[in-house]
Chains A and B, each alone.
Chain A
Amino acid sequence: MRFSGFKVVKEALTGHRGWKPLWRDPEPQGHYDIVIVGGGGHGLATAYHLAATFGQARIAVLEKGWLGGGNIGRNTTIIRSNYMLPDNEPFYEFSMKLWESMEQDLNFNAMVSQRGILNLCHTDAQRDAFRRRGNAMLLAGADAELLDQDGVRAMAPFLNFDNARFPIKGGLLQRRAGTARHDGVAWGYARAADQRGVDIIQNCEVTGFRIENGAVKGVETSRGFIGAGKVGVAVAGSSGRVMQMAGMRLPIESHVLQAFVSEGLKPVIPGVITFGAGHFYVSQSDKGGLVFGGDIDGYNSYAQRGNLPVVEDVAEGGMALMPMLGRARLLRMWGGVMDMSMDGSPIIDRTDIDGLFFNGGWCYGGFKATPASGYCFAHLLATGRPHETAAAYRLDRFARGHVIDEKGVGAQPNLH
């Protein structure tokens, strides 16, 4: 079934009787060519691209709970390609281009909204670093603009310009950045993958890998053994737990990141704004809720919830930057478990086990990467070669000294 305005009108006039399930709930088959572990954004996007872009068939996505229930359903929905390092920026710009055509590709409105992201700077040194980053973005074919204080004021006059502990000096603006409706992305990929024959199997937890002679033969699941030619793991937040079943240790720690949404308000914030002197970033959803967040809690956690100090820290940042938010109310807060990698950058690579591939380590930036991560992981699974924009995301880069450390804080995951 194709979605369109016409279809919506027709169904409205005929009592909505014609809407079909967005995806099937198939029983798992005994064997697939490719099994993707993890029915989150990256897993579903991988399955979609395997089927739609790389012509693969007999694909299953195994999801422990409900599809889209991991970090794709609990992030702050920001999309952007404003990275500095050459091993990152082309990948995220590739992702941005995929975002720009996503709705037409998937025939699903994921509400990709390019309302821009404005990173504020508060010192000369920060501005210089932004200049380096903005120029790197332009060299990679992305868009970037450097604003001075007046430029920022024109865009966001409500910021604290007059009584700030750390005055706003300017900002780096990427107009093509913005937000997307996170659940819609998962649903769009799931529906499009399902339409192309991918079996999405919910409530199917992987409990082990069957590995014979150094090669993966399939996965043990809560619904029985499922054979597989290749297995791709995309289980951000649970990477440590899952790969441990294959006997692997990873350059990853699991940390909790909290996110927040306010009550609905009439439009306040134009795009995404990030504070450069504290931990606070914010955008406003189409429903009117301010969606905001800050730093990770900072200790290893699989608990999907955080603690008050970070809540207070984020609110302090918000109030320092936007004192007009004082009477807005926090409606809901929640936590997601992040794969914090040792250099803050992700991994899309084969493993030492034949046929077992790994995608993870996205830190708290996995959402924006969803389309390219799916594309590049599918490329690797289908062709055996890394996609050119993801070629640096290798597992052995740490031992070899080719780390991709945007922040320059080294092997301490909670600082990335």
Chain B
Amino acid sequence: MNARLSGGLIDRSKPLSFTFNGRTLQGFEGDTLASALMANGIRLVARSFKYHRPRGIFSAGSEEPNALVTLGTGARAEPNTRATMIRLPEGLVARSQNHAGPLGFDLWSVNDLAAPFFAAGFYYKTFMWPRAFWEKLYEPAIRNAAGLGRLSMQPDPDSYDKGFLHCDLLVIGGGAAGLAAALTAGRSGAEVVLADEDFRLGGRLLAESDPLDAATAADWVAKAEAELRALPNVRVMPRTTVFGVYDHGVYGAVEEVSDLPGAPLRQTLWRITAKRAVMATGATERHIPFRDNDRPGILLAGAMRAYANRWAVTPGAGKVAIFTNNDDGHRTALDLQAKGVNLLGVIDSRAGATPFGDYPIFAGGRVTGTSGRKGLRAIRLSWNGREEELSCSALGVSGGWNPNVQLASHHRGRPKWDESRLAFLSHGGPEGLLPAGAAAGEGSTAQALASGQAAARAALEQLGTPAADTPLPQGEDRQIRTEAFWHVPGKGRAWVDFQNDVTVKDIKLAHQENMRSVEHLKRWTTLGMATDQGKTSNVTALAVMAELTGRSIPETGTTIFRPPYTPVSLAVLGGGDTGKDFRPTRLTPTHHWAKAQGAVFTEVGQWMRAQYYPQPGETHWRQSADREAMAVRSAVGLCDVTTLGKVDVQGPDAAEFLNRIYCNMMGTVKVGKARYGLMLREDGFAYDDGTCARMGEEHFVVTTTTANAGLVLRNMEFARQCLWPELDVTLISTTDAWAQIAVAGPRSRELLSRVVDDFDLSTEAFPFMGCAELTVCNGCPARLFRISFSGELAYELAVPARYGHALMQRLMEKGADLGVTPYGTEALSILRIEKGHAAGAELNGQTTAQMMGLGRMVSVKKDSIGAVMSRREGLAQDGRRLVGLQAVDPQQAIPAGAHLLATGAAQTMANDQGWVTSACYSPHVGGHIALGYLEQGEARMGETLVAANPLQDQQIPVRIVPAHFVDPEGDRLRD
């Protein structure tokens, strides 16, 4: 175990236990998993993706490429979690991943020995022979070796939520720049949201030893946080990662609400709409590739400093060295030294570099190699013309800093190279997103504070809010000089992208094979495609490619980032709308009544509808459906048809408006009558049908199919507002306002007569297709339509939705002696197939009025939507027609979806003559029947064809009959 250093922002009075690979270890409150592992002397924590190289902790932040672990157990196991970002809770269970056998003896590490065969792009060049071996042999082997962690394969048991926030200023990042921005805007009274991915505000300030004014940085941060939290107009959100920038100032963020198993809420997805935002996201340190630079114990120098200052740990028990091309590496040396770490010295790539304190410096030196299989033991130093091996347990590497400009790229803005800073700065970023602090290349504390404040002031000015005077503390203001030294040339493998095992050699090979554009380089080598998205590798790789092509970095290309900034769980993106809550559930007014009757329900869009009502003794749904259908044919049945769309159309021009909406004449319908209507799309195809009832001179009620209720209203509103606003007509959906019950069957009139109040139901007074407003059950307002879907004498009775349940009960009660029977969607379907009425399968958006046998409905006397295009050659010449089909052997079911072929014809597309749309067993016919579309169907009555269903190895002989299996003359419904 490494001894803890002094100080740090850990609470030594609150020890915490956790396990790593089954070993119980101790940390303190304030630790991350990474710092706690380090404090326990654990260096080997992971294996790399491709070569399974031993890896340790490399960074102290969200850029971590190496230290990915699986957290938790059972259904809560969470793979690929960055140890550097996990706040250590009591009882944390962590395991390493992606190895076969123990972490220390990973069998897959043979890949490392075979590395020469696995050079960039090798798999595009081999595994092609024999052909069948790819799926059977090569690919499964590759797939098993690839991947990182493992999913539990159990449903995620935790809860997630989503929320919306609106603010004047969103401050992204709670470091020096972010705090200065939030304080400035907060004191000015602006609505501010301050979000930071860390569990503690302060950002890089927490990792440094410099004071702010006279206080420690941590004390100043605590004071600033307290002030912000006290302001009612500021919302402080630690552990909240702003992961993406979307249009019009919308930012996506994820808040880690709780990391405790079984907490009521685990994460929240926030959609934050901000008038302005400050991108105070800091900077990420680069490394410098050299031979074998990936061993555990080699870290980013700035991370090493953070571990020492914030967590009081050091990654090695022995000597520590720094390899740098800039001044900031020296700062780490000084801080480590101040903490009593045994410093080997600073290897500075710059010839003539001088130390900033009392430690050895190797100016102009290079690290050219390392040793130590599972942890660094020694480095190879090339200096002053000599090569020597120096024993060393940890090495900090500093190659300069990359501003974290990712968010500014999310609208595809391309960062621009700044030669003076040797870094890409944001360019052409989303409107309203203002970079500040290290993210804008302003790296010293003083610069960061000032630029954060300046960004907030700029935002306030744009919003017209006067900025309150906000004094800033005094912070360090070092100038960091950096040399453009990108990698140490030489033999061996020097890693650029650690997680995906991409080396300088791979980049050279990509160059050699003409994969030179940045995108080709990335895709050929997989560089920057790992879970860290190239945060520590992209710019370095670009510099190496620039060197190879002899061009400058900006000439070579730039690198663009896509959301999310760091990976986001699918569960939180779903926001909890899963399982039964995936979509809203709409219940009909009689749902609870039907449920009490034991109905089985089915999903119809968002609605739940009664499918059938099984009675004692019925063991198969068809027994129930057949009984229900027969009850309608012989007595009377009740079906809740509330789900059909209803649109109230009112106004002086209502009749003219409907003439233009329906393909058939609708304006001539008399008051008190209804008419069947067909709607076309403007492209001439049919898309919806229903009835249109004229309740008054200027008042119509339009019904639509259940599926198209929303679409029809939308299209009618389009016609009303966008095509013919001069027509004086208004529309309102009343689908949910009225409960509507179909009362169908020869005894329906008798049943209805028992509930209507003083209403003459005789055919003379209320004929087929009649409609009326009336009252029922002693004063309940109602609408009655004499329309029929089944072909029987039938009505639909509508009452205000809240009376639907009671009406159903009353009708059941009053009709008991008449044999009244509730029926569900199965019987409904049987009845309409028997009658040859089109439903969804026939009216599927690909068919025309003509195909349905309704060609003459398309009026030529008036204009209507779709009329002109319905006459195009391709539609007019289409010879397919709706026909009835009867199984030659009545007991053979006709599968819907079978294709119609001539008997004995080969089963080819050329012989395809049509298809079966809907099918059922008809209790009325006493055999299986179907509807279908058939080439020249009208002219082929009596012909026998095959309903071919090769998918299920069926060939069913069927006879073509008219699509009316019951009462073709329509006497019953006019009775």
Report which A residues bind B (CB closer than 8 A): 3-5, 7-9, 11-13, 16, 19-25, 65-66, 68-69, 73, 86, 89-90, 100-101, 103-104, 107-115, 122-123, 125, 127-136, 138-141, 144-146, 158, 160, 163-167, 181, 183-184, 187-188, 202, 262-268, 277-278, 284, 286-288, 303-305, 307-308, 311-312, 314-320, 323-334, 397, 399-403, 405, 407-411
Decide if A267 touches B124 in the complex (CB within 8 Å).
no
Q: Say whether B948 faces chain A, with CB atoms less than 8 Å apart.
A: yes
Decide if A86 touches B912 in the complex (CB within 8 Å).
yes
Q: Shortest beta-carbon distance, A140 to chain B, in Å?
A: 5
Ranked nearest first, the 9 interchain pairs of A and B with the lowest CB-CB distance are: A326-B156, A131-B897, A408-B845, A401-B874, A288-B147, A401-B872, A326-B571, A315-B573, A21-B514
Which of A68, A109, A407 is within 8 Å of B124, CB to CB? Answer: A109
Q: Say whether B546 faces chain A, with CB atoms less than 8 Å apart.
A: no
CA distance A316 to B530 in the complex (A): 25
CA distance A308 to B840 in the complex (A): 32
Instruction: List, sorted by A's number, 16 A–B pairs whose CB atoms are closer than 8 Å.
Output: A16-B509, A66-B519, A108-B124, A108-B125, A135-B951, A263-B79, A278-B582, A288-B147, A312-B573, A312-B574, A319-B574, A324-B153, A327-B156, A329-B531, A331-B531, A407-B845
- Contact flag A112-B134 (CB < 8 Å), given A12-B119, A73-B523: yes
Known: A12-B119, A133-B897, A327-B77. 17 other contacts (CB 8 A): A5-B129, A16-B509, A22-B515, A65-B517, A128-B897, A135-B948, A265-B150, A305-B410, A308-B252, A317-B582, A318-B570, A319-B156, A319-B578, A326-B569, A328-B151, A332-B562, A333-B244
Decide if B567 touches A329 in the complex (CB within 8 Å).
yes
Decide if B568 touches A324 in the complex (CB within 8 Å).
no
Q: Which of B682-690, B787-795, B956-964 is the interface stretch?
A: B682-690
- Contact flag A139-B147 (CB < 8 Å), given A316-B577, A400-B873: no
Decide if A307 touches B79 in the complex (CB within 8 Å).
no
Q: Shortest beta-carbon distance, A68 to chain B, in Å?
A: 8
Decide if B80 touches A263 in the complex (CB within 8 Å).
yes
Decide if B577 touches A326 in the complex (CB within 8 Å).
no
Decide if B131 touches A103 in the complex (CB within 8 Å).
yes
Of B146, B155, B515, B582, most buried by chain A (CB within 10 Å of CB) is B582
- Contact flag A333-B564 (CB < 8 Å), given A138-B951, A408-B845: yes
CA distance A34 to B64 in the complex (A): 50
- Give how many B residues have a beta carbon under 8 Å from the other chain's beta carbons: 121
Decide if A264 touches B951 in the complex (CB within 8 Å).
no
Q: Shortest beta-carbon distance, B281 to chain A, in Å?
A: 18
Residues from chain A with Cβ under 8 Å of B687 in the complex: 410
Residues from chain B with Cβ under 8 Å of A108 in the complex: 124-125, 128
Q: Say whether B902 faces chain A, with CB atoms less than 8 Å apart.
A: no
Decide if B520 touches A286 in the complex (CB within 8 Å).
no
CA distance A130 to B533 in the complex (A): 40
Decide if B685 touches A410 in the complex (CB within 8 Å).
yes
- Contact flag A165-B135 (CB < 8 Å), given A131-B951, A319-B571, A400-B873: no
- Contact flag A22-B514 (CB < 8 Å), given A166-B582, A311-B573, A320-B582: yes
Decide if B116 touches A13 in the complex (CB within 8 Å).
yes
Decide if A330 touches B124 in the complex (CB within 8 Å).
no
Decide if A9 touches B117 in the complex (CB within 8 Å).
yes
Which of A9, A24, A163, A183 is within 8 Å of B579, CB to CB? Answer: A163
Chain A: CB-nearest residue to B896: A128
Residues from chain B with Cβ under 8 Å of A134 in the complex: 897, 951
Decide if A8 touches B126 in the complex (CB within 8 Å).
yes
Decide if A165 touches B912 in the complex (CB within 8 Å).
no
Q: Shortest beta-carbon distance, A386 to chain B, in Å?
A: 17
CA distance A288 to B150 in the complex (A): 10
- Contact flag A19-B899 (CB < 8 Å), given A146-B951, A160-B155: no
Q: Which of B12-20, B136-144, B177-185, B452-460 is the interface stretch?
A: B136-144
Residues from chain B with Cβ under 8 Å of A135 in the complex: 897-899, 915, 948-951
Q: Shortest beta-carbon distance, A329 to chain B, in Å?
A: 4
Which of A4, A131, A181, A328 is within 8 Å of B570, CB to CB? Answer: A328
Which of B79, B252, B513, B526 is within 8 Å of A327, CB to CB? Answer: B79
Q: Shortest beta-carbon distance, A258 to chain B, in Å?
A: 10
CA distance A288 to B146 in the complex (A): 6
Decide if A8 touches B122 in the complex (CB within 8 Å).
yes
Chain A: CB-nearest residue to B506: A16
Chain A: CB-nearest residue to B134: A113
CA distance A112 to B124 in the complex (A): 11
CA distance A79 to B911 in the complex (A): 27
CA distance A314 to B524 in the complex (A): 29
Which of B124, B530, B916 is within 8 Å of A187, CB to CB? Answer: B124
Q: Shortest beta-carbon distance, A126 to chain B, in Å?
A: 10
Decide if B151 touches A405 in the complex (CB within 8 Å).
no
Decide if B899 touches A132 in the complex (CB within 8 Å).
yes
Chain A: CB-nearest residue to B681: A410
Contact with A along B555-590 (1 / 0, CB 8 A): 000000011100111110111011111110100000
Decide if A8 touches B125 in the complex (CB within 8 Å).
yes
CA distance A139 to B913 in the complex (A): 12
Which of A123, A145, A263, A411 is within 8 Å of B603, CB to CB? Answer: A123
Which of A12, A22, A139, A287 is within 8 Å of B899, CB to CB? Answer: A139
Residues from chain A with Cβ under 8 Å of B872 in the complex: 399-401
CA distance A334 to B522 in the complex (A): 16
Residues from chain B with Cβ under 8 Å of A13 in the complex: 116
Q: Say whether B265 faces chain A, with CB atoms less than 8 Å apart.
A: no
- Contact flag A267-B575 (CB < 8 Å), given A66-B517, A165-B582: no
Q: Shortest beta-carbon distance, B538 to chain A, in Å?
A: 13
Q: Say whether B246 faces chain A, with CB atoms less than 8 Å apart.
A: yes
Contact with A along B756-784 (1 / 0, CB 8 A): 00000000000000000000000000000
Query: Which B residues, 154 to 173, have Cβ-Cβ distances below 8 Å to chain A?
Result: 154-156, 158, 160, 162
CA distance A268 to B681 in the complex (A): 43
Residues from chain A with Cβ under 8 Å of B269 in the complex: 312
Residues from chain B with Cβ under 8 Å of A122 in the complex: 603
Q: Say whether B846 faces chain A, with CB atoms less than 8 Å apart.
A: yes
Decide if B146 touches A21 in the complex (CB within 8 Å).
no
Decide if B898 touches A131 in the complex (CB within 8 Å).
yes
Decide if B147 touches A267 in the complex (CB within 8 Å).
yes
Decide if A324 touches B148 in the complex (CB within 8 Å).
no
Which of B126, B252, B570 is within 8 Å of A262, CB to CB? Answer: B570
CA distance A320 to B574 in the complex (A): 9
CA distance A133 to B585 in the complex (A): 29
- Contact flag A184-B131 (CB < 8 Å), given A286-B146, A327-B151: no
- Contact flag A131-B895 (CB < 8 Å), given A103-B128, A312-B162, A316-B575: yes
Residues from chain B with Cβ under 8 Å of A318 in the complex: 570, 574
Q: Say whether B49 faces chain A, with CB atoms less than 8 Å apart.
A: yes
Decide if B683 touches A403 in the complex (CB within 8 Å).
yes
CA distance A24 to B898 in the complex (A): 53
Query: Which B residues, 822 to 878, have Cβ-Cβ distances below 8 Å to chain A?
Result: 840-841, 844-846, 869, 872-876
- Contact flag A165-B581 (CB < 8 Å), given A86-B909, A264-B49, A330-B570: yes
Decide if A111 touches B244 in the complex (CB within 8 Å).
no
Residues from chain A with Cβ under 8 Å of B582 in the complex: 164-166, 277-278, 316-317, 319-320
Which of B513, B579, B585 is within 8 Å of A160, CB to CB? Answer: B579
Q: Say whether B420 faces chain A, with CB atoms less than 8 Å apart.
A: no
CA distance A407 to B497 in the complex (A): 45
Decide if A325 touches B151 in the complex (CB within 8 Å).
yes
Decide if B147 touches A266 in the complex (CB within 8 Å).
yes
Q: Shortest beta-carbon distance, A147 to chain B, in Å?
A: 10
Q: Say whether B149 faces chain A, with CB atoms less than 8 Å apart.
A: yes
Residues from chain A with Cβ under 8 Å of B148 in the complex: 263-266, 288
CA distance A130 to B911 in the complex (A): 20
CA distance A163 to B143 in the complex (A): 30
Decide if B244 touches A308 in the complex (CB within 8 Å).
yes
Residues from chain B with Cβ under 8 Å of A181 in the complex: 124
Residues from chain B with Cβ under 8 Å of A320 in the complex: 574, 577-579, 582
Which of A23, A139, A304, A407 is within 8 Å of B907, CB to CB? Answer: A139
Which of A140, A263, A314 is within 8 Å of B531, CB to CB? Answer: A263
Residues from chain A with Cβ under 8 Å of B530 in the complex: 264
